[in-house]
Amino acid sequence: MATIERNAKLQTQLIDDLLDVAKILRGKLSMNVAPVNLASIIESALDTVSTAATAKSILLHPVLPNIGQVSGDSNRLQQIVWNLLSNAIKFTPKGGRVEIRLEPVNNQAHIIVSDTGIGINPDFLPYIFESFRQEDVSVTRKYGGLGLGLAIVRQVVEAHGGTITADSPGVGLGATFTVQLPLLNVEPPYTARREVITQLRDGEES
């Protein structure tokens, strides 16, 4: 029964991926854009993957400060995070660790997913976001999938005006994926200084 359920979920995911690819190729990828809090999106994705992580005794370590909002489709953004977390858990051995961090860098929100998994051959890194590309056919046999997930993630990220990069020290040394998205309503860096000047002036007047 467990095998049947696992295969059914895999087939459903493959169908969803193929439908998304078809929409992307036709330019019909629908998005309902609104201000979105990334910390909430990531927490929802973590709830979804927590069972899979627990089954492999993988430690999920989130670092999610409230850094503001981005403009995007909440469902599509959650799809990005879910895919990256699912991949990290899938390719990390039992007892490993997956970390997801949210950081503000200038006017960008960085979503960083890193793991202690099987890593990526440096020669394959330039091709990792291409459709139907996998580093080794044995990966398909062992882990399933058609190599579409990361290609879809890249397309969805770019549809939000962002970028995604992948990095790995090598095979067996884990991997890190970084999504960069434009932040909304970024305060200028001189705000704190302006407040200090205002306080000094108020003190002089009193």
Q: What is the CATH number of the domain that holds 47?
A: 3.30.565.10
Residues of the domain holding 41: 32-205
Total domain count, the chain = 1
18 part of a folded domain: no
Indicate the average pLDDT of the chain.
79
pLDDT tens digit sequence for 110-146: 999 999 999 999 999 988 988 655 555 555 445 444 4
Which is higher by pLDDT, 163 or 25? 163
pLDDT tens digits, 14-39 = 556 555 555 555 556 677 889 999 99
Determine the Cα–Cα distance for residues 178 and 103; give it in Å rounded to an integer: 10
Whether residue 188 lies inside any domain: the answer is yes
